[in-house]
Amino acid sequence: MRVLYLTAFIVALDQTAKLLVKGFSVPFMDLYHAGVPLGSSRAILGDFVRLTFIENPGMAFGIDIGGKLFLTLFSIVASGGIFYYLFKIREEAFVIRFSLAMILGGAIGNLIDRVFYGVFFGEGPLFYGKVVDFVDVDFFNIELFGFHISRWPVFNVADASVSLGVILLLVFHRRFTETEQQVSLATSDGASVDTQSASNAPLGKSGDAARSSDTPS
């Protein structure tokens, strides 16, 4: 379960980046960081990559399905399911566990926003926080179903981790499945050959003795 160190690193990186963007205040430690004004946008790599601070109540890339509470509860269940599955496959290929650890880290990162940010920042009750997004990347100019897309939807570290984890899982899970099928077929073919060879093998001493006893004297 050492892949959970990766999960913890992703959560820490995601939350650190979000707090630096959103800002925070810890009065008893005399800590204060103003953050970036909500809705503002600053160039990082020209216009290709910008820091654009927005908040969304939905899923990754601003997708909103079922409302805030539903998404929060779904995230909790999904994170628990991924953790349990990681435990079950702890002896499986490393790349599969690595991919799931990335997905789990991203899921927990955004889950913290939804569960606690409303309370932490005085913006809403528990489970009703908004997810902080800030990575704004240029995209191809595309007209799709009447919509004009010129930039990728604003996302965060957690979103990127989930997306990369899913891509790795799809690519390598298929490869390992195909390899296991080939090994299984080779093993079954080898077993059938051994069985056939054994059935066609000449009789041993006991077989010779039996045949000699059947021969009339």
| pLDDT single digits (tens) 80-107 | 999 999 999 999 899 999 999 999 999 9
When comparing pLDDT for 71 and 207, which is higher? 71
> Could you say which of 14, 113, 133, 136 is catalytic?
133
Active site residue 159: yes
pLDDT at 69: 83
Check pLDDT > 60 for residue 210: no
> Could you say which of 159, 189, 194, 208 is catalytic?
159
Tokens in use for 163? 């997306």
Check pLDDT > 80 for residue 111: yes
When comparing pLDDT for 71 and 136, which is higher? 136
Residue 133: closest CA among 103, 108, 162, 156 = 156
Give CA–CA dist 103/86, Å, rounded: 11
Sign of CA dihedral 62, 19, 102, 127: negative
pLDDT at 142: 82
Mean pLDDT of 68-79: 89
Check pLDDT > 70 for residue 136: yes
When comparing pLDDT for 56 and 141, which is higher? 56
pLDDT at 102: 98
pLDDT tens-digit series, residues 163-180: 999 999 999 877 766 665
pLDDT at 141: 81
Active site residue 136: no
Give CA–CA dist 155/165, Å, rounded: 15
Distance of CA 196 to the CA centre of its chain: 46
pLDDT at 113: 96
Q: List the beta bridge partners of residue 26.
A: 31
Contact, 139 vs 152, CB < 8 A?
Answer: yes
Dmax over CA atoms of the chain, in Å, equals 111
pLDDT tens-digit series, residues 22-46: 999 999 999 999 999 999 999 999 9
Mean pLDDT of 53-65: 71
Structure-token match 């099928």, residue found: 181
CA distances for 119 relative to 35, 85, 97, 124, angstroms: 18, 31, 33, 6
pLDDT at 59: 61
pLDDT at 189: 57
